[in-house]
Structure 1
């Protein structure tokens, strides 16, 4: 079985936890901070953190346009929490100057579940993840306001989509990397393998 090389965008956020989860899911994980490092991966994770900060650092490090180009060319990407915001084509309430990589035809609301002190955990039934509910950790989490026709909603909480997929792009409002449960990362690793086999992970 092919061992895909999956990068974690290491500009800000819970990078170490995603690296460990990817290794646990059978991938070779590495940090990505520069365009040349992005060019060497088969898939990418955009971690949770502060979406405005990640956006500004991606521009400062010269990564925003290469990220957009690789997503457009079919690179599989998984975004958790702030990463979901980065993969949205539109943010309902963006901060001044905030940009996204885009790729998923959805509108996302930042901090939709409340502030830091309103963080919570919930059992989330997620399509594509076998073995029962995933423990979802929601920290200043977004939710998806609306989706286009090509977006598959994989999970909801209180009627709001919290996990979605469009082709090779996967996004969750919650942080599976914080629980020690690697099933969401295994799902994404399988998506990257499929793209490699199909020759679409440009």
Structure 2
């Protein structure tokens, strides 16, 4: 017997309503077997969260973060990466860029993926992909202005088998070269491109705001991932 799949959108911050609209547009493209249905709910309480099979966190703080205030907003954890907040500058320096997202598919099967319009608002980047290790990445503690998020469970070898390594899903080429002085000051390890989307196990995160476009392809892809894991 197939049950409905419940997807929650954390409705405490960010553009949660915009996520709802794109989820509703995306859901007809991802049918659930045996007449199951998608159910989308706003999440504000622990009881509402318990109902969910998957969760979207608009503007969520999910990783270890550099250049952030200690004692400020707590981090959720869930990805083995170090993030530099507001890497591209203040809100007045927000921008849009066409992104080549190879994980998106096309209906016609041609293999040509239409660029996705990425909207970056006070956007972070992934400075470093961290190894899957037991407990907190202690080497990160020595970095100034770095706050460590709690490690996802399970830990150690079981965690590595469960989550696997971090997959880099998208980069933004060229920005590092145009921000060479800033990149040098931050000590980034690779100027081949800025990491703007990652996936580890059942956790997916982006630097840009897919909900602020009319393009539902990322939400379609994400619902396909949710369907495959439930």
Question: The TM-score by the shorter chain falls in which range?
Answer: 0.7 to 0.9
**DSSP-derived class of the 1:188 partner:** helix
Mapping 1:90-105, distance limit 5 Å: 90-97=64-71, 98-105=73-80
* Ranges in structure 1 where 5+ consecutive residues have no aligned partner: 49-82, 197-202
Q: Which runs of 4+ in 1 moved over 3 A?
A: none
Whether the 8 Å contact between 1:2 and 1:193 is mirrored in structure 2 is no
Q: Does 1:180 align with 2:154?
A: no
Whether the 8 Å contact between 1:4 and 1:189 is mirrored in structure 2 is no
Using the TM superposition, give the Cα deviation of residue 3 of structure 1 relative to its aligned residue in structure 2, in angstroms: 5.3
Q: Distance between the aligned counterparts of 2:3 and 2:23, measured in 1? A: 14
Alpha-carbon distance change, 175 to 2 in structure 1, aligned in 2, over 3 angstroms:
farther
Question: Which residue matches 1:166?
Answer: 200
Q: Does 1:156 align with 2:190?
A: no
Q: Distance between the aligned counterparts of 1:187 and 1:46, measured in 2? A: 16
RMSD of the alignment, in Å? 1.5
Give the length in aligned residue pairs.
159
Question: Which residue matches 1:23?
Answer: 24
Using the TM superposition, give the Cα deviation of residue 37 of structure 1 relative to its aligned residue in structure 2, in angstroms: 0.3
TM-score normalised to structure 2 length:
0.66
TM-score normalised to structure 1 length:
0.74
Using the TM superposition, give the Cα deviation of residue 2 of structure 1 relative to its aligned residue in structure 2, in angstroms: 7.2
* Ranges in structure 2 where 5+ consecutive residues have no aligned partner: 28-37, 106-112, 132-164, 176-192
**DSSP-derived class of the 2:102 partner:** coil
Mapping 1:1-202, distance limit 5 Å: 4-26=5-27, 27-48=38-59, 83=60, 86-88=61-63, 90-97=64-71, 98-130=73-105, 131-149=113-131, 150-157=165-172, 158=175, 159-196=193-230
